[in-house]
Structure 1
């Protein structure tokens, strides 16, 4: 049975989420997908395109998963959406995605180029997603910057600081 691009992306994204971007070389990815590195190049054109497609696939999954968690689909205040995002980010299913995001940001900062373009596209998509779930869409940059700060603090070993900061933000935002 031939592997579809979607099935490959599912397997490849699972591998990247479990092992990080640093292990995203052709042979380990091919093994994870149950195919050869030549078939990956056939499907994606290059290693860079493959990794970019995997990152976009992960971002799309994240948006889908977040939307599924917001079961009532109503618009929220900035504080409420930030709290909802933070609760979602704490789940075992979302934590690996958050780590990959921070890893991508670090790579984009260090290397620029194609990874910076992918990071920019993901940020733009997340801003659009955030704006669509807010009572005031202009609050999307605020929510995103606060959320990113919380993630950085958590991954730097300061989860308590992040929790305290979120609590204070909620108090100030109402």
Structure 2
């Protein structure tokens, strides 16, 4: 099988999949440490100790590799949030509070890279739109799972969407403000809105 560049592609053998995962993990660690600026197949290959041709054997393109790297980093973020939520009470309000603390206090390198990914999606949507669309698709199921199980699915989706959009705005505020006071104040208002949702019939 060949990709768009004409290089032979891995056909999905168990051995090939194991190697693909190893490469992805190594490159993801590099991006987490060094960011997305100047990301390229050659830089990724260097960090993984291989060649760009080998990467094109396992990934469709530089964009495909970047998409999978960002997906992996978001999985780390979600895993951190779920760990924090597991230690909280069963209420949606407490789960949102625990998830926000995890997001607010996460390592700056992880936040920086995921912010850069959203920046790329906005700067060049023709090439990187998938980085932006993938975020909501990845985060929403987790937030839906925080909602009371007896809620109708549409209500879960609506409330989870509100929480996601608001928390993303707070992350931008943390990135662009010196003290984070407005994000903290806004978050308290969000918690009150979530409490009202929980109290509603």
Same fold (TM over 0.5): yes
Pairwise CA distance, 1:14: 1.3
Tell me the residue number matched to 1:41: 56
CA distance in 2, matches of 1:173, 1:43: 44
Task: Say which structure, 1 or 2, has more relative contact order (CA 8 Å, 6+ apart).
Answer: 1
1:171 CA drift (Å) = 4.6
- Asked whether the equivalents of residues 82 and 99 of structure 2 are also in contact (C-alpha less than 8 Å), the reply is no
Contact 1:85 1:147 in 2 (8 A): no
- Indicate yes or no: 2:179 matched with 1:164: no
Q: 1:91 to 1:11 in 2, by over 3 A?
A: farther
- Superposition misfits of 4+ residues, deviation over 6 angstroms: none
Partner of 1:63: 78
More divergent stretch after superposition (64-73 vs 106-115): 64-73
1:89 to 99, 103, 108: 103
Aligned to 2:137: 124
Is residue 144 from structure 1 mapped to residue 134 from structure 2 by the alignment? no
User: What is the alpha-carbon distance in structure 2 between the residues aligned to residue 104 and residue 56 of structure 1?
Assistant: 10
Q: Does 1:102 align with 2:123?
A: no
CA distance in 2, matches of 1:39, 1:51: 15
Instruction: Tell me the matched-pair count.
Output: 171
Work out which of the residue numbers 150, 155, 161 in structure 1 matches 2:175. Answer: 155
Task: Work out which of the two has the higher radius of gyration on C-alpha atoms and give 1 or 2.
Answer: 2
Return 5+ residue gaps in structure 2 as ranges. Answer: 1-15, 196-201
1:34-62 superposed Cα distances (whole Å, 9 cap, x missing partner): 22222112211321111111112222232
TM-score after normalising by structure 2: 0.74
CA RMSD of aligned residues (A): 2.4
Please, what TM-score do these two structures have when normalized by structure 1?
0.84
